[in-house]
Structure 1
Amino acid sequence: MTSQQLEYIITLADERSFSKASQKLLISQPALSQFVKNLETELNVQLFDRSTTPIKLTYAGELYVSAARKIQTIMAELDNELKDLSILNTGKLTIGTIPFRASCMLPKSIVSFKKKYPGVDIHIVENEEANLEALLADSHLDLCILSGFMDNKFLQTETLAQEQLYLAVPNSSPFNNGKEAYQLSAKDIIYDSSALFQTRPLTLSDCVKENFVLIHNDYTVTTELSQFSEFCHQNTMYTDRIETAFSWTLAGIACSFIPDTLIRYGNYQKHPVYYKLNTSFSKRDILVAYKRNRYLSKAASEYILLLKQLIGYGTWQSPNE
């Protein structure tokens, strides 16, 4: 059934007169009569009993009109839903990211988005970055917040910000002895103190003999460390979560490489000793990724725009907060 067929037949059923229906539909009576005849021929049933005045529906006509009214209602509801989607009165947004970013970096952007678009349902999927890439490529996610370089022909990326990796060393480690001039506190990093800019960085050769806890699948860090003969794989532990690496360093187990985003937004009361690093991996991009050549929903587009605006203020929080 086309929308025209629905409108013509329902109007004729309501008016019970070809002349009245044609006037209401703004078409000629012969044109309406011919339309009904053609439709009846197509359906191979008679919809209207023309032997009476006013005309009335046959049983087949009653079935057709009943279905037509239901279809009209569904189409009207769909039209309203699509209009709501276009202005984001409703909708769904599925965001993928690692647990740390979900808990420490996204909440305020989610709050700001929900204030603006309360009807949009948000679903956060937390997983390893490699798994998130696969989920995004398979269209199970609308977008991902990831870090580092991404070489995936199926995904499109935009840079949101940069984050700095610091060498984190247990407070009790002998490594810290004599390196006071290189050390940074969490406050130096959080508040961008003068020490943050004046303190000289260490190189990997300065710390390569230490025990490390590294992140699984962070091949950039592992590859660069492996270039040093002093690097001991046997003394290296691995975890899937950056928060675990941070906690183990704080507990005195091993050194780690911690991003400034965790230091700034993790709300930790205690911290290890931090050192700047002069390495190829010490700076990396925070990216928003979405599937290439796939329609990006209005909700996803608006969230990316909002995220860029909030980051543009130098923080992941709203400027009004």
Structure 2
Amino acid sequence: MELRQLQYALQIAAERNFSRAADKLHIAQPSLSQQLSKLEQELGVMLFQRNTSSVELTYAGQKFIEQAGVIMSAVEMLRQEMADISQLRTGRVVVGSMPITGAHLLPHVLPAFKKNYADVEITLLEDSSMNLEKLTASGQTDLSLLSLPLEIPNLSYEVLGDERIDLAVPPEHPLAARFGTGIRTSLAELKDEPFIVLKEGQGFRKMTMDLCREAGFVPRIVFESNNMETVQSLVATGMGVTLTPHFIARAPRSEFVPVYLPLAEPVPSRTLVIAYRRGRYLSKAANAFIETFKTTIAALSAGEAR
């Protein structure tokens, strides 16, 4: 049994698809299938049930993946500890990120980090918050940018800061006239509005639903998307309203831009965190990345306060 075979099995389990797993591993699909068959023959059990449309773990596969994750995490921690002991400034940090949140924050974080740690390799992995939690818990990322609450219990985290939640409305919407007036909109005023939200599995969708329910209504959803930028563009063209994290609202990138309004007290917010597997050894490079992220978030928030 080889370590790379464990890595291959973990990736297939994460993707539930040989083609996607091969792409992520940067190997040919026939080679991946060959290595898995070789591993299954050595073990004497089938790890995956191959169907025409999906790949599912067998009972033996579930047990194997649990232990393979522990082994690969231990191997990576050993590498990191040895690198730190040798006091090398080189290393590698695998960072998971929610796509749109990362797109607005990482361009500030990465240049600052690379300036001080030029020889540390950063590998980015983008996915939904639900999948990122699973990848982090299994040790496939060293760190992941997420927001509270976390659903998986065996994750630890460092708080980066709180991010205000804003309201996005079409430019011609009656509420848009409040922009710059200091008049704030309460969530309860939106009970009859059509909402555009992210699809199931995205953490911010759950936050939107929870905030609306706390305000006394269930939002009337007219469109759903996997992409936050698409949500913003649909709002801008008059299809509905939505709630938006402030770091996204402060730097819209689409040609279709809604009007962003601060909400009334108590202003809703989300807490951004850097999460990692509980008990995982964090290398000096990983800790430096966390500190750089904290400093960057603080600087951005301070700039907003001026």
Contact 2:97 2:144 (C-alpha < 8 Å) held by counterparts: yes
- Alignment pair present for 1:122 and 2:118: no
Displacement of 1:230: 6.7
Q: 1:222 aligns to what SS in structure 2?
A: helix
Q: 1:275 to 1:207 in 2, by over 3 A?
A: same
Question: Could you report, residue by residue, the CA deviation over 1:233-253 in whole angstroms, capped at 9, with x for unpaired residues?
Answer: 4x4322222222111111222
Q: 1:312 to 1:142 in 2, by over 3 A?
A: same
Displacement of 1:86: 5.0
Question: Could you report, residue by residue, the CA deviation over 1:191-222 in whole angstroms, capped at 9, with x for unpaired residues?
Answer: xxxx6xxx242222211211111123422321
Q: Which of 275, 291, 307 matches 2:277?
A: 291
Moved more, 130-139 or 104-113: 104-113
Q: 1:275 to 1:102 in 2, by over 3 A?
A: closer
Contact 1:84 1:90 (C-alpha < 8 Å) held by counterparts: no
Which protein shows a greater Rg? 1
- Counterpart of 1:132 in structure 2: which amino acid? L
Residue in 2 that maps onto 1:214: 197
Q: 2:92 aligns to what SS in structure 1?
A: strand
Residue in 1 that maps onto 2:113: 113
Q: 1:309 to 1:231 in 2, by over 3 A?
A: closer
Question: Could you report, residue by residue, the CA deviation over 1:8-29 in whole angstroms, capped at 9, with x for unpaired residues?
Answer: xxxxxxxxxxxxxxxxxxxxxx
Contact 2:108 2:296 (C-alpha < 8 Å) held by counterparts: no
Equivalences for residues 136-215 of structure 1 within 5 A:
136-173=136-173, 175-176=174-175, 180=177, 182-184=178-180, 199-215=182-198
Residue in 2 that maps onto 1:97: 97
Q: 1:166 to 1:312 in 2, by over 3 A?
A: closer
TM-score normalised by length of structure 1: 0.60
Displacement of 1:283: 1.0
Residue in 2 that maps onto 1:300: 286
Question: Could you report, residue by residue, the CA deviation over 1:47-96 in whole angstroms, capped at 9, with x for unpaired residues?
Answer: xxxxxxxxxxxxxxxxxxxxxxxxxxxxxxx99x9457754432111101
d(CA) in 1 for partners of 2:167 and 2:282?
A: 38
Equivalences for residues 305-320 of structure 1 within 5 A:
305-314=291-300
d(CA) in 2 for partners of 1:280 and 1:292?
A: 33
Residue in 1 that maps onto 2:237: 251
Q: 1:161 to 1:266 in 2, by over 3 A?
A: farther
d(CA) in 1 for partners of 2:88 and 2:101?
A: 25
Q: 2:250 aligns to what SS in structure 1?
A: helix
d(CA) in 2 for partners of 1:227 and 1:316?
A: 29
Note the aligned Cα RMSD (angstroms): 3.0
Structure 1: gaps (5+ residues): 1-77, 185-194
d(CA) in 2 for partners of 1:281 and 1:85?
A: 46
Displacement of 1:289: 0.8
d(CA) in 2 for partners of 1:284 and 1:209?
A: 24
Contact 1:91 1:120 (C-alpha < 8 Å) held by counterparts: yes
Structure 2: gaps (5+ residues): 1-77
Q: 1:279 to 1:214 in 2, by over 3 A?
A: farther
Equivalences for residues 25-104 of structure 1 within 5 A:
82=82, 86-104=86-104
Q: 1:116 to 1:316 in 2, by over 3 A?
A: farther
Moved more, 209-218 or 159-168: 209-218
Identical pairs, percent: 28
d(CA) in 2 for partners of 1:150 and 1:122?
A: 24
TM-score normalised by length of structure 2: 0.63
Contact 1:105 1:265 (C-alpha < 8 Å) held by counterparts: no
- Counterpart of 2:206 in structure 1: which amino acid? Y
Q: 1:228 to 1:103 in 2, by over 3 A?
A: closer
d(CA) in 1 for partners of 2:98 and 2:254?
A: 18
Q: 1:290 to 1:84 in 2, by over 3 A?
A: closer
